[in-house]
């Protein structure tokens, strides 16, 4: 896999809200040296320190990968190859630098909820580490179907190594774009009040940074997330062209490009997130397909 830019999130930094403008999402900039440039955010303004290569000596309490938008079954795409590649990339990553688990953040399949069983059995079950999944707007699965395939509901939470995770559905069986269930979010976030670090996973973002992008504007969700000081980051999928960080106030919202589908960044990839023993949070976007090669360096 190619070289990657690493970002250290300085959660104490005084980060103002950003409202970036961009062309339509399908024509969004697809080849970039830094994902921050995609968002129109400089690293210094965002309070983020860039590292050209991962720190292999970093002492971490937790390391996980997050990917989204595989669109298994989408006509006109080589979706089986895309998923074979993803499983190989993630397993290779785990062999080199062990992961605790993987999160698949929505749009596992493309408008055919019956394929969820197939994509789980034939691909995700081949991962050498545990994985969790949350629906996107193309999965069209109700709670009962999601439960029957994955063994947990489409809104759920878990704790690992002292870090809390809250995953909430942002769509329905019709594929509508919805805000998450804020009552569920509050209930789960209250459970994790004693934890230092909590991450929230939402396929569709609750804020519109780019007017042309099909997000949902939910002031209630943003206000709720901001009311918990231990919510350190939110992770989104949905827009295949974004591999950047955006902000609501001081709260970072990260995107991770795409696994499959017929549009988006020129490369296929995923994001790595690490929580250090010092409670600092590190994240880097992985250009897994190396098309194009990003941040290539020769020392």
- Compute, in degrees rounded to 10, the torsion defined by CA atoms 201, 207, 209, 212: 100
Cα angle at 98 between 95 and 165, to 5 degrees?
140
Question: What backbone phi and psi angles, to 5 degrees, belong to 16?
Answer: -75, 160
Res 211: pLDDT: 79
Res 294: pLDDT: 56
Pairing of the two strands 269-276 and 60-67: antiparallel
Res 50: pLDDT: 36
- Residue ranges of the chain whose pLDDT lies below 70: 1-54, 214, 293-299
Res 22: pLDDT: 33
On whether the pTM is more than 0.95, the answer is no
Res 37: pLDDT: 33
| CB-facing half-sphere around the CA of 4: CA atoms within 13 A | 23
Res 212: pLDDT: 75
CATH 3.60.21.10 fits 6-287, yes or no: yes
Each domain of the chain, given as residue ranges in start order, spans: 6-287
Res 291: pLDDT: 79
Res 57: pLDDT: 75
- Angstrom distance (rounded) from CA 87 to CA 128: 9
| Paired tokens of 230 | 């231990």
């Amino acid at each position: 896999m190619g070289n990657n830019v690493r970002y250290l999130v300085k959660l104490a930094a005084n980060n103002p809200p950003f409202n970036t403008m961009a062309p339509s999402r399908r024509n969004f900039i697809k080849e970039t040296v830094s994902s921050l440039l995609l968002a129109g955010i400089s690293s210094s303004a965002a309070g983020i320190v860039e590292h050209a290569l991962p720190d292999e000596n970093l002492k971490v309490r937790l390391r996980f990968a997050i990917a989204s938008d595989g669109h298994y079954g989408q006509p006109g795409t080589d979706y089986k190859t895309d998923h074979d590649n993803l499983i190989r990339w993630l397993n290779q990553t785990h062999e080199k630098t062990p992961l605790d688990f993987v999160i698949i953040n929505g749009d596992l399949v493309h408008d055919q909820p019956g394929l969820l069983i197939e994509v789980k059995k034939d691909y995700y079950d081949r991962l050498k580490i545990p994985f969790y999944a949350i629906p996107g707007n193309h999965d069209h699965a109700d709670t009962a179907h999601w439960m029957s395939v994955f063994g947990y509901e489409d809104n759920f939470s878990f704790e690992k190594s002292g870090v809390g995770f809250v995953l909430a559905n942002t769509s329905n069986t019709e594929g509508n774009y919805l805000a998450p269930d804020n009552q569920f979010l509050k209930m789960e976030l209250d459970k994790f009040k004693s934890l230092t670090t909590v991450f929230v996973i939402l396929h569709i973002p609750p804020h519109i940074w780019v007017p042309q992008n099909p997000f949902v504007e939910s002031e209630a969700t943003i206000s709720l997330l901001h009311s918990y000081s231990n919510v350190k980051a939110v992770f989104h999928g949905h827009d295949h062209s974004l591999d950047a960080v955006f902000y609501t106030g001081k709260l970072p919202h990260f995107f991770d490009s795409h696994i499959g589908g017929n549009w988006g960044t020129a490369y296929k990839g995923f994001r790595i997130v690490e929580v250090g023993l010092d409670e600092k949070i590190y994240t880097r976007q992985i250009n897994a397909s190396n098309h194009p090669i990003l941040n290539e360096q020769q020392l």
